[in-house]
Every structure is written in structure tokens, then in C-alpha cells.
Chain A
Amino acid sequence: MLKTENPCQKTKKHVLKKPEASVIILSTLIFFMEATVETDVLIIGGGATGTGIARDLALRGITSLLVEKGDINAGASGGNHGLLHSGARYVANDGESARECMEEGKILRQTAPHCIDDCGGMFAAVQGDDENYVGEFQGFCARSGISATPISIETAMEAEPLLSKKLIAAFGVRDGAIDPFMLSLENIAHAKALGSKLLCHTEVVAFEKDNHCITRVWLENIHTHQRFSVDPRQVINAAGAWSGKVDALAGAATEIIYSMGTLLVTQSRMTEGVINRLRPPSNADILVPGGTVSILGTTSIRVNDPDRIRPTVAETDLIVSQGAQMIPTLETTRYIRAYSGVRPLVSQGKGDDRSVSRSFVLLDHQETGLDNFATITGGKLTTFRLMAEKTADLVAARLGNTTPCKTRTEPLPSTQEGKWTEPGIAPRVWMQKPAGKKDRILCECEMIAESTVDALADALEKNGQAPDLLNIGKRSRLGKGPCQGAFCSTRVLAHMYNNGRLSGPDGANELKAFLSERWKGQKPIFWGDQLVQAELTEAMHCGLFDLELTTPDPDKPEPKKVSDSLAKTTRQSERRN
């Protein structure tokens, strides 16, 4: 409730403390002094929800500062299927989620078509699956207003020839595939265009409170450990799996269940549309096309710490064997990597993690006695916009802003920011280059040319982030093909040295950081051809380059990673010398 004398209503600006001047502090200072925009809202968490909130607020005329301790979509927003749910998966026991999914799917198809592959989907049951569930499925769907059309076995097999010969029932649904990276990058790009700000690699470390209000939020750059503070009028916790930790810092107890899910990426696209196993939600029962690949998952394993998750061999084996019941080729196909995400589920005390509602929770913290704090958590990628809308409604009302939400109808502009995450875009752009123009392909698996790498590096520098291999990899398909990054990493590095973006002895460490990151997702799928490739990668980078014997200088504070915010000026001169 709004109180007229609310101390949270005083006008705020960023305040910088501790002026023991280092270059980083100075450049941060330059940034904040340059920031003429008044930041009313601090958003914590740069996933689909946080970036969605930033855009929603900006469209209402409210600018915000979004801080993210990792990179955009570093959590569950980047570690999921990329599935635009029809809602049919939730019809049996979570009708509300089902309906939300259906409605949001319609809106996103209208407003963000460039992020969506409207490939359609199917629910398929095979011999041995619960026939009662199969029988009740259509009724469940009807109850939530979701269309599910029975398909004959012959028609289903014709549409998706890799389906098991043991298919006993199939229904067509309105599923789609959505590129979560493009979505979040476009959302934040639009918010920024409207005056909001983004700081990645920036973690919330403390809240100062006064009289029912958060008055000051202390932030820390995770690489430089420099601290600075912001005095916001409103604070939104959209930290996903980390929202419980953020709430605890603010003195509010929200119990979050961490449910880890693992997914596998196949080397090629296996199906035209999304294939769901027609059974009560279980392991490895969804296969979603992602451009030129398919994504199979997932699992649901309770973990204690969202910061320490890794896909395991056991999960991989489970996913492959379960998935193969639906699509037998999944047993023999080549996988190129595995990854995990943590679903933030709000504890309601009983039942297993899959039965916890996948609907979202918006906490206004009035009970805890915090008038300018809100936490949005739970939910799923498909409903991110609705989550953002509800949160923005609350915060806008608190700020006295009565402009209605515009994201239901306002198209999401297509910028360059998210463009390169789309499979197949890099080769298309490369093919269009003028005849005679030299533009060498650096990643031969995903056809990424020099010009694409340069564009990505420029964009990173513009955002004040290091144009290093790791960051370029996160914003493109670099290293995501069958070579596992062994060759493209080395070529991109040579290119970065050649054009002067990189100098000094850090190249070896960039290689190690990039390949280590890729390795994390590959270790569980090392059999068959992928193990052969792993051996070649290791032969080259350890056998020949001896990279395992190079150690980063411990006294050096990771100079390239100073990156953030506006240390840009320093880093450019550092890199271009």
C-alpha cells in the first residue's frame, strides 16, 4: 500500500562511496556521473524475468538499473529447453499454469516472432505408457481451454519418422521453440534504448534499511571486488534460483527449492516439431528443436546450492535411455553437449518437486515490513512476460505510475544484440557478403566469420564487457559444433591478436577459460565420436600447446575481466596498445 509520507519516495541517484581511486572506481564513477537518467528501480537478476521487467517498466516510462552477478541468462533462463509450452504438459495437475502458458504463447507469437520457431508439437505415448492418462489427456486439455488434436499413428509417423514404432497414441498441440538468449538480449536492448541500464558481473552484497524501506543497496563487481552503492526507490528481486539468497540478505525469508534439470543437445535436428511424452511429467520426456539441433531433457534433482551444479554421467545415461523409448535414434545419435539449469520453486511443504506448481509467485514483502521490495520467482520461460507484467504492475503502482502494461501488444524490436545466437544466421550473413570481400570463416562447424566475431566484440565493448572468447562464445554459436571449440577457439584468438583487440600473455588463459567452459557440458557425453574429438582437443591443447602447464600469474587481478560497466575506456586502451 502506498503511504504518502513513505521515505521510499524521495528522489534517488546512485551514490559512490570509498573514493580510494583506482582506475576501475574512476571509470565506474564516470559512468554514474554520466548517467543523467534517474534510476527509480533496481532489478536484481538478468534472466528472462529481470530483462522482461526492465523492458516492461521502461515502456511505462520507468527507467531501471538491472544488475546481474553473472551474464545475461546465466541461470535457468539459459539452462532450459527453449520450449514455448502449449500448456498441455501441465493440464493434469496444474491447470492454472497450463492456461497461462497457452495465453502467453499466443501473445509472444504476436509480439516476438523473431525469437520463435513456431514448429508445432505433439504428445506421443508408446507401448507401456499409462493408457488411462492417454484416455484422459484430451479432457484435461479441454478443461484448460487447450487444443489437442488426435493424430492417427500413420499421420504421426509420417510427420515425425523417427518416432518409435511402438507409438500407441498421438495428439497435435501448439508448442513452439523459443530462443531464450535472443529473447533476453532483445528485452534488455529495448530497455536500454529507452534509458535503462545494465551491469553484468555485479552482485548484491548488502542492503541498508530504514523505516520499512531499503534505502541503499551495496553492489560488488565480482571480478575486481570493487564495491559501490545505489539508492533505489524500489527494489525487485528477480534472481531466479538465487532469489532466496537475495531475500535473506534483505532480511526476508523465502524458502526456495532448487530443482536441477539436465538437458542434452544432439548434433542435428531430430524432429520437425516438439515431441512430448504423453505421460505424467517425468524424466527426459521432451525433445525440442533448436534450429539445427535438438534438445532432450530433462531431469529433476533436488540440489542444495544453485552455484554448484554440473550435468552428470548418470543423468545423461538416464536421459538417453528414457528419450530413446520415444525416439529410438536418440540411443545412437551423436550428442554435442549437456547443460543444467536450476528451477527455482517456492516451497509449499509437501509433494515431490515435479508436483510443486510451476506457476510463479510474486511476493510484495508487506508482511516482512519492507515497503519497496518485491520478489518474483518460480514460473517458467513461457510465462516470463506475465511475470514481468505482474511485477511491474506492483512496482509502478508503488511509484504512483498509472501507465498500463504495453508488452501484451507492443512488438519486441529486433536489434543486433541477440542476433548471433540463432543457429544458421552466421552462415546466411556470410553468404550475403559482396563478391571479392575477404571474410574468413573462423568457426567451421557453425560457419562464424571474422566479421561476425568483430561485430560481437564491438557490441561487447560497447556494453563495457570484455570482448574475450568466453563472452563471444556466450553470444554466438562459437564452439557449439562438433569440434567442441578446439579449432575455432584458436582461430578466433589469433584473429583477436591480429586485429589488436588482444595483446600480452593472456591468450593462453582465454583459451583455457573458453575450453574449460565447453568441457563442463561435454564431459558427460564423452563416448563414441565425441570422445574421439575430446582426445583430439586434448592432444592439441595439452599434448602440443602444454596449456595444462601454464599457470595464470596469481598476483595479477585478471586484467581483462575488469571489463564491466565503464571500465571500457581503460580496457580499450589496454587492449589496443
Chain B
Amino acid sequence: MNSQAPDTIHTELTIIGSGMTGMAAALFAVNRGISTTLIGQHSAMNFASGVMDLMGVHPAGQEWDDPWKALDRVRKDLPNHPLVKVDNLDIENAMEELLGFLKDQALPYHRAARKNINVITSVGTIKKTYAVPETMWNGVVALEKKSPTLIVDLDGMKLFSARQIASSLADRWPDLGHETIVFPGSEALEELHPEHVARALDLSANRVKLANRIKPFVKDAAYVGFPALLGMYSSREAVTELEQLLERPIFEIPTPPVSVPGIRLQETFISGLGKNKLFRTLSTMVTHVKTDSGFTITTGGNTPETIRSKAVLLATGRFLGKGLTASRQGIQETLMDLPVEQPETREEWHRNDLFSPQGHPVNRAGIKTDDHFTPLVPAPEKPVKNLHVAGAILAGSDWMRMKCGSGVAIATAFAAIKAIEKANK
């Protein structure tokens, strides 16, 4: 048996999936002394905008200023929503622990006390969310006060137009100006990629050159807003230095994928967790999970690895994360063929209107669990011991409509790790 081979990795917990759920779970696990192996490739966090939602909308189309009040309503109406299985104290503790870690790793987040905050997006809409990277915070303040603000974009960025933002928001934020700047050194380039600019702005010299090009346009603007690309590994320093050079507060605006703040989160988790001896990560895909007394996990790639683990946390995400897959006949869980709660027929998966505030039933499909996030299996099958499921793959939450993506990821990871910790004792 492979499991007896000398290079088999032994670990208490294997987390499958390297998105927000997997990363958060790894943090909570190692903080509780659980040796953890995280396996995942192509983290969905590369698609994340960097802002963190907790709970924003429920029922259809109703926005809430207070995420906790929104949650109270969800607890009343949707007993199967994953967040309902976690009490408020645990949700708060989970957020506190995760944001504390990010702060320690020089990626601080800001939020308002018991209140959702408003951020502007790259298409000029205003979005409610729970927490934003510190580099976006001044934008929340500027929007709140409707301060005179200059939005800057960079020539060659195809998904971000400062003019679009200023023009779209003109009714609500009249003192919004816009300017397109040619990024220093990019004159000959046809296109500009946010990741490249972000890496360039890790260097002070490029910040100085950029600031010099912006200065003539700043005039009486109290704030300057940028697309979210001000530094990759040193975003705090980049923002601080640009603020000094421009002599006023600045902020980042979230952008569609590939998004720099998402990459920052991903990299920060990996490097921060890497400092803990209990943590190991394999950048590959799991191909097979065998359950006996514990789990034997096999990975793909050129050098397949075998992992023996006491517990497994499935945090493989939905369709984009490859945790779920859909054929014409139905939706399957990809790794262990767990039962998926789903609409009866494919006709019911999506509504006719893409933008229906009710959302699409397919987005509530997923794995059904008990209150400890152990998957429910129909009798006579016996539930697999020490298997937990967390995050977007869970049934009952439409994160895109309810604005609860990060909340579900972090809170259910926390609750699942607490259950694993309890079982270990």
C-alpha cells in the first residue's frame, strides 16, 4: 500500500482547497495546535476583489446597513443557510482572529463597528460590504463625505475607466474628477496588466515617477482614487509613500479579476501560515480520497503524493473552484461523490432573468451538513467519520445575491475546525 511508503505525509488534518475557506481553516487549525496540510492549486482567491462581505442582502433585493440585523433575519427565514449554523459570537471571533492575522502579516483590513460600509466599484456602482483592505478605506470615507476626489486610471488598462466611474456617479458624487495617466515606462506598451503595475509599484522609484505625473491634475482634490494595483507585496508602503508625495490621502478601488488585492490575500496567507511548523501546503490537485480508519489522500501531478490524515476538511468551492461539476443530468460533488442537494431538473437551475434579485436556484445547491458541518448522507449509508465540509460548496447560501461570501467561508471554516478540535480531545 502507498500509505505505508516511507514518503507518506502524516498529518492530523488535510484541508482540500486553497480559497478563502481553506486558508481561513488552515489558520484556525494551526492556531489550535492541529498539524495541517493544505492542498490546492489555482486558488479562487485570484478571482476575489479583496473586499469581505458578511451579510448584506435578504430577502431578495433588501439591503442592510447592519450585517448582524441582516443575519437575525436570515436565521428566522432560512434555517438551512450555513451561517445560521454558527452563532454570532463564533462569527465575530472568527472574523477577529482572521483579520488579526492579516494585520500581523502587514495586510490590515478596516471595518465599521457593527455596520456595513459602502465602496465604489470599477464600473461606478456602490457596493455594501463588511471589511475592506486598509488601502481602500479612504475611499469609504471620501464617498461618505462626498469629498472632492480625483479618480485616476492608467492608459492601457482595459477594465477600468476613471471617466466611467466619475460619470456614472456624477449624480451622487458631483465632486468626482477623472484623469488618465500613462504609467511611467509603459509608453510603448499596448496594454497594461494590473499585476505588472502592482509589482512595479513595490519599488519606490516608480511611485515617485507616477506621483510626478499625477501631481499637475490633483489641484483641489482632497483624495485621489486608483485602481487596486498599488503594490503587490508592499501595498502599505506604496500607499503611504504615494500619500506623502501627493500630499493627501489616497485609496484603491476594487476591480474585476484578475484582481491584485485577491493575489495579495493569497500570498499573505501562504507566507504567514508558512511560518508555523504545523503547516504544510502542496500546490497540486487531490485526485482521490480513500476512507478507512482515517483518510488516504492521493494527489495528481508529476510527483503524486500520499497523505495519511485523521480528519479532512473539504473546502473545494463551487463550479469555478471545481468542487462541484454539472452535466446535463445533474450536479455532482467531484472528489468523494457526496450527495448534492439540488433542484429537481435542469430547467429550474437558472431563472430567465440573469439579474433577478431572487437569484438562481442553482446557486443554493450544494452539500447539506449537520450543525458541525459533517455532510449528511441518506440512510442506510453511514456518515464518514472526521469529514467536514465548509465554504461555498455548502448548500443553502447564494453568496452572490446575499453578499455573504467571505462570511460563509470564514465562519463555517471556524465552526468546522472547532468541531475537529473537540473530536481530537
| Residues in chain A within 8 A of chain B (CB atoms) | 310, 312-314, 317, 320, 438-440, 442, 487, 490-491, 493-495, 497-498, 502-505, 507-508, 511-512, 515-516, 519-520, 523, 526-528, 531-532, 534-550
Does B277 sit within 8 A of A, measured CB to CB? no
Smallest Cβ-Cβ distance to A543: which chain B residue: B400
User: A487 — which chain B residues lie within 8 A by C-beta?
Assistant: 159, 256
Do B327 and A498 have beta carbons less than 8 Å apart? no
Does B254 sit within 8 A of A, measured CB to CB? yes
Tell which of A312, A317, A438, A539 has the most Cβ of chain B within 10 Å: A539
Do A535 and B125 have beta carbons less than 8 Å apart? no
Other-chain contact of B345, A313, A534, A538, A541 (Cβ < 8 Å): A313
User: B125 — which chain A residues lie within 8 A by C-beta?
Assistant: 508, 545-547, 550
Do B161 and A546 have beta carbons less than 8 Å apart? no
Other-chain contact of B171, A438, A505, A511 (Cβ < 8 Å): A505
Q: How far is the CB of B351 from chain A (nearest CB, A)?
A: 8
Do A539 and B400 have beta carbons less than 8 Å apart? yes
Other-chain contact of A532, B257, B320, B327 (Cβ < 8 Å): B320
Do B354 and A515 have beta carbons less than 8 Å apart? yes
User: B169 — which chain A residues lie within 8 A by C-beta?
Assistant: 505
Q: How far is the CA of A531 from the CA of B299 in the complex (A)?
A: 25
Do A504 and B354 have beta carbons less than 8 Å apart? no
Smallest Cβ-Cβ distance to A547: which chain B residue: B355
A313-B347, A497-B161 as given contacts; A508 in contact with B354, CB under 8 Å:
no
Other-chain contact of B320, A440, A528, A535 (Cβ < 8 Å): A535
User: A504 — which chain B residues lie within 8 A by C-beta?
Assistant: 167-168, 170
Chosen A-B contacts, 22 in total, with CB atoms closer than 8 Å, are A313-B345, A317-B346, A320-B328, A442-B158, A490-B123, A493-B123, A493-B164, A497-B161, A498-B164, A504-B167, A504-B168, A505-B168, A507-B123, A519-B353, A523-B350, A538-B360, A542-B400, A545-B123, A546-B125, A548-B355, A548-B401, A549-B63
Do B158 and A491 have beta carbons less than 8 Å apart? yes
Q: How far is the CA of A519 from the CA of B169 in the complex (A)?
A: 27
Do A516 and B354 have beta carbons less than 8 Å apart? yes
Do B163 and A540 have beta carbons less than 8 Å apart? no
Interface residues of B in 51-110 (CB under 8 A from A): 57, 61, 63
User: A547 — which chain B residues lie within 8 A by C-beta?
Assistant: 123, 125, 355
Q: How far is the CB of A563 from chain B (nearest CB, A)?
A: 20
User: B122 — which chain A residues lie within 8 A by C-beta?
Assistant: 545
Tell which of A507, A547, A548 has the most Cβ of chain B within 10 Å: A548
Other-chain contact of B352, A310, A494, A502, A515 (Cβ < 8 Å): A310
Does B356 sit within 8 A of A, measured CB to CB? yes
Other-chain contact of B164, A310, A507, A548 (Cβ < 8 Å): A507
User: A507 — which chain B residues lie within 8 A by C-beta?
Assistant: 123-124, 164, 167-168
Q: How far is the CA of A527 from the CA of B399 in the complex (A)?
A: 20
Do A523 and B156 have beta carbons less than 8 Å apart? no
A540-B257, A546-B125 as given contacts; A527 in contact with B346, CB under 8 Å:
yes
Tell which of A491, A497, A511, A515 has the most Cβ of chain B within 10 Å: A497
Interface residues of B in 307-353 (CB under 8 A from A): 318-320, 325-328, 345-347, 349-350, 352-353
Do A528 and B168 have beta carbons less than 8 Å apart? no
Q: How far is the CB of A159 from chain B (nearest CB, A)?
A: 29
Does B405 sit within 8 A of A, measured CB to CB? yes
Does B220 sit within 8 A of A, measured CB to CB? no
Do B170 and A544 have beta carbons less than 8 Å apart? no
Q: How far is the CA of A538 from the CA of B359 in the complex (A)?
A: 10
Q: How far is the CA of A508 from the CA of B354 in the complex (A)?
A: 14
Tell which of A317, A505, A516 has the most Cβ of chain B within 10 Å: A505
Chain A binding site: helix, strand, loop or mixed by DSSP? helix
Q: How far is the CB of A129 from chain B (nearest CB, A)?
A: 24
User: A528 — which chain B residues lie within 8 A by C-beta?
Assistant: 325-327
A494-B159, A546-B125 as given contacts; A538 in contact with B405, CB under 8 Å:
no
Q: How far is the CA of A447 from the CA of B36 in the complex (A)?
A: 45
Chain B binding site: helix, strand, loop or mixed by DSSP? loop
Does B370 sit within 8 A of A, measured CB to CB? no
Q: How far is the CA of A540 from the CA of B320 in the complex (A)?
A: 12
Smallest Cβ-Cβ distance to A577: which chain B residue: B167
Do B167 and A503 have beta carbons less than 8 Å apart? yes
Do B160 and A494 have beta carbons less than 8 Å apart? yes
Q: How far is the CA of A445 from the CA of B121 in the complex (A)?
A: 24
Do B355 and A542 have beta carbons less than 8 Å apart? yes
Q: How far is the CA of A493 from the CA of B167 in the complex (A)?
A: 12
Q: How far is the CA of A438 from the CA of B158 in the complex (A)?
A: 13
Smallest Cβ-Cβ distance to B171: which chain A residue: A505
A497-B161, A503-B167, A508-B123 as given contacts; A538 in contact with B354, CB under 8 Å:
yes
Do A549 and B256 have beta carbons less than 8 Å apart? no
Q: How far is the CA of A544 from the CA of B405 in the complex (A)?
A: 11
Q: How far is the CA of A536 from the CA of B326 in the complex (A)?
A: 15
Do A548 and B356 have beta carbons less than 8 Å apart? yes
User: B128 — which chain A residues lie within 8 A by C-beta?
Assistant: 546
Q: How far is the CB of B360 from chain A (nearest CB, A)?
A: 8
Other-chain contact of A505, B121, B159, B170, B254 (Cβ < 8 Å): B170
Do A497 and B164 have beta carbons less than 8 Å apart? yes
Tell which of B320, B328, B403 has the most Cβ of chain A within 10 Å: B328
Q: How far is the CA of A544 from the CA of B167 in the complex (A)?
A: 19
Task: Rank and list the top 8 A-B pairs by shortest CB-CB distance, nearest first.
Answer: A494-B161, A497-B164, A519-B354, A543-B400, A313-B347, A548-B355, A491-B158, A532-B319
A516-B354, A523-B350, A539-B320 as given contacts; A440 in contact with B190, CB under 8 Å:
yes
User: A523 — which chain B residues lie within 8 A by C-beta?
Assistant: 350, 352
Smallest Cβ-Cβ distance to A531: which chain B residue: B326
Q: How far is the CB of A43 from chain B (nearest CB, A)?
A: 33
Q: How far is the CA of A545 from the CA of B126 in the complex (A)?
A: 8
Q: How far is the CB of B105 from chain A (nearest CB, A)?
A: 24
User: B355 — which chain A residues lie within 8 A by C-beta?
Assistant: 512, 515-516, 541-542, 547-548
Smallest Cβ-Cβ distance to B158: which chain A residue: A491
Do B168 and A438 have beta carbons less than 8 Å apart? no
Do B328 and A438 have beta carbons less than 8 Å apart? no
Do A494 and B400 have beta carbons less than 8 Å apart? no
Other-chain contact of B127, A531, A538, A544 (Cβ < 8 Å): A544
Q: How far is the CA of A541 from the CA of B169 in the complex (A)?
A: 17
Do A494 and B158 have beta carbons less than 8 Å apart? yes
Given A535-B320, A538-B363, A544-B127, 10 more A-B residue pairs with CB atoms under 8 Å apart are A312-B347, A320-B328, A505-B168, A505-B169, A505-B171, A531-B326, A538-B360, A544-B121, A545-B122, A546-B121
User: B63 — which chain A residues lie within 8 A by C-beta?
Assistant: 549
Smallest Cβ-Cβ distance to A516: which chain B residue: B354
Interface residues of B in 339-383 (CB under 8 A from A): 345-347, 349-350, 352-357, 359-360, 362-363
Does B298 sit within 8 A of A, measured CB to CB? no
User: B168 — which chain A residues lie within 8 A by C-beta?
Assistant: 504-505, 507-508
Do B257 and A508 have beta carbons less than 8 Å apart? no
User: B164 — which chain A residues lie within 8 A by C-beta?
Assistant: 493-494, 497-498, 502, 507
Q: How far is the CA of A411 from the CA of B203 in the complex (A)?
A: 62
Q: How far is the CA of A483 from the CA of B362 in the complex (A)?
A: 19
Tell which of B127, B168, B169 has the most Cβ of chain A within 10 Å: B168
Do A498 and B356 have beta carbons less than 8 Å apart? no
User: B127 — which chain A residues lie within 8 A by C-beta?
Assistant: 544-546
User: A541 — which chain B residues lie within 8 A by C-beta?
Assistant: 354-355
Smallest Cβ-Cβ distance to A525: which chain B residue: B328
Q: How far is the CA of A511 from the CA of B61 in the complex (A)?
A: 19
Q: How far is the CB of A546 from chain B (nearest CB, A)?
A: 5
Q: How far is the CA of A526 from the CA of B159 in the complex (A)?
A: 26
Q: How far is the CB of B394 from chain A (nearest CB, A)?
A: 15
Q: How far is the CA of A312 from the CA of B401 in the complex (A)?
A: 24
Q: How far is the CB of B331 from chain A (nearest CB, A)?
A: 9
Do A542 and B401 have beta carbons less than 8 Å apart? yes
User: A512 — which chain B residues lie within 8 A by C-beta?
Assistant: 354-355
Q: How far is the CA of A504 from the CA of B163 in the complex (A)?
A: 10
User: A312 — which chain B residues lie within 8 A by C-beta?
Assistant: 347
Q: How far is the CA of A545 from the CA of B165 in the complex (A)?
A: 12
Does B149 sit within 8 A of A, measured CB to CB? no
Interface residues of B in 155-195 (CB under 8 A from A): 156, 158-161, 163-164, 167-171, 180, 190-191
